[in-house]
Amino acid sequence: MPGVPVVGAHADDGGGIDSQSENTRNPLHRGRTLIAPNPFANETRAESPGDSVADCPKHVYVHIPFCYHKCGYCDFASVAGVDHLADRYLTALEREIATVGERRVVTTIFVGGGTPTRLSPVQLERLLATINHHFEIEPGGEFTVEANPGTLDHDKVNVLVAGGVDRVSLGAQSFQKRSLAVLERDHDPAEVLRAVDAIAPRFRRWSLDLIFGVPGSTLAMWTDDLDQTLALEPSHLSCYGLVYEKGTPLWKRRSEGIVHVLDEELERAMYELTIDRLAQSGLEMYEISNYARPGHESLHNLAYWANASYYGFGVGAARYLNGVRSVNTREITAYLKRIEAGEDATGPTETLDAEARARETAVLMLRRIKIGINRAEFTLRTGFDLDRLVGSELERHRRNGLVEDDGHGVRLTRSGIFLADTVLSDIV
């Protein structure tokens, strides 16, 4: 899925740059979708405020827009019915990726969509060969590919393994046929089970995406979703509340009164159940919408939440380089024509000043449940002192019981998790 700015990253807020990873949104979506960018290893220390976030990109996002059907809630740069453009798109993608020049050593690669596994095995092999030609994963790194259950088979799994992919993110969303129909998903629950049977023996690290708060769903239905998910023993889960993105079919149906938003208290109960149920099963909440067994956290998403720099390639893909956020055009034919003409496919661009970058970093770090904002890491990355920059805002929320401060860092409390948008918006 496409990467970034702080509050207002999706169409509901009328601007900004999209978010692109498994899940970077607030699980309780009543506020706004919040940003997402990249971590730790081998990044330059800040010599002056804001200098560190984009000096040495160690993370790569590649976007594949093709889908069999565009889901009713989807606002990502995805297209259906144009599979005949896939080879042409891969050629354009090869040209764009080649602009990095010499082969780069990176920490994470994430291929999202759309549906990357909509590509044929031959096309998927070609894509991975292109990526591996220009980027090398360093030891301990991570190479993730997103997949939809109905598009994954053993042939494609073999291609992924041969291409160096070591992590798969599977978009299950729900095991309830009724919820899948409301979301306009193009798979059924049985296909999730078949996909897991294909990937579980081949990948030590794999993830499932789930959506709660679907119109017409109940707490019992969500409990069943969690039970069926845990029976599959995933090492990572992303669980988030349904977002009604402006302009999507689902948003229109809500506006027309055809579907109805779930009661806030019910949605909160679903979120609270998720936190507790997964914790009991050994999946620790490490970010406001992500859960993992120890050692199975998404390195790519951890990078986003540390506000590191990253490359982005493909239609609608965002990048964060040298303090500048930019996103490629979201229209596939425009992307193809511009790349084929030797032109840049970049669309909206946003340059953040040093303070804005530092505040954004604080917002992203605070999404991390266990780590939060570590003062030393924050200063290293931004050149700013956390307390001088946002100390009054954090202290107010500490008094309100929404954050806790142990002197080394600041984290959301249990109550603060449910009101994260309030705290994060205040910092921005």
Domains of the chain, by residue range, sit at 11-305, 372-427
The tokens describing 251, both together, are 């948003």
Report the pLDDT value the prediction gives residue 249, as an integer from 0 to 100. 77
Report the pLDDT value the prediction gives residue 49, as an integer from 0 to 100. 35
Under 8 Å CB-to-CB from 217, ≥6 apart: which residues? Answer: 174, 176, 178, 179, 262
The rounded distance, in Å, linking the Cα atoms of 290 and 27 is 9
User: How far from the centroid of its chain's Cα atoms is residue 48's Cα?
Assistant: 29
Report the pLDDT value the prediction gives residue 245, as an integer from 0 to 100. 82
Report the pLDDT value the prediction gives residue 74, as an integer from 0 to 100. 67
Strand order in the sheet with 104-113: 284-287, 290-292, 236-241, 205-212, 167-173, 135-147, 104-113, 59-64, 311-313
- pLDDT means per 10 residues, the chain with 428 residues, are 28 33 43 32 36 67 88 75 94 97 96 95 98 96 95 95 97 90 84 94 95 94 96 95 83 85 93 96 96 96 93 95 91 96 93 92 95 95 95 95 95 95 90
**In terms of Cα–Cα distance, which of 121, 63, 53 is closest to 304?**
53
Tell me the CATH architecture of domain 11-305. Answer: Alpha-Beta Barrel (3.20)
Following CA atoms 56, 23, 375, 405 in sequence, which dihedral angle do they give, to the nearest 10 degrees? 180
**What is the secondary structure of 23-64 as a DSSP string?**
--S-SSTTS---------TT-PPPSSTT-STTSS--EEEEEE
Specify the residue for token string 């909509």. 118
Sign of the C-alpha dihedral computed for residues 23, 383, 57 and 8 taken in this order: positive
Cβ(243)–Cβ(173) under 8 Å? no
Specify the residue for token string 């020049």. 101
Report the pLDDT value the prediction gives residue 139, as an integer from 0 to 100. 95
Report the pLDDT value the prediction gives residue 54, as an integer from 0 to 100. 41
Report the pLDDT value the prediction gives residue 33, as an integer from 0 to 100. 32
Strand partners of residue 310: 320
Strand order in the sheet with 318-321: 318-321, 324-328, 346-351
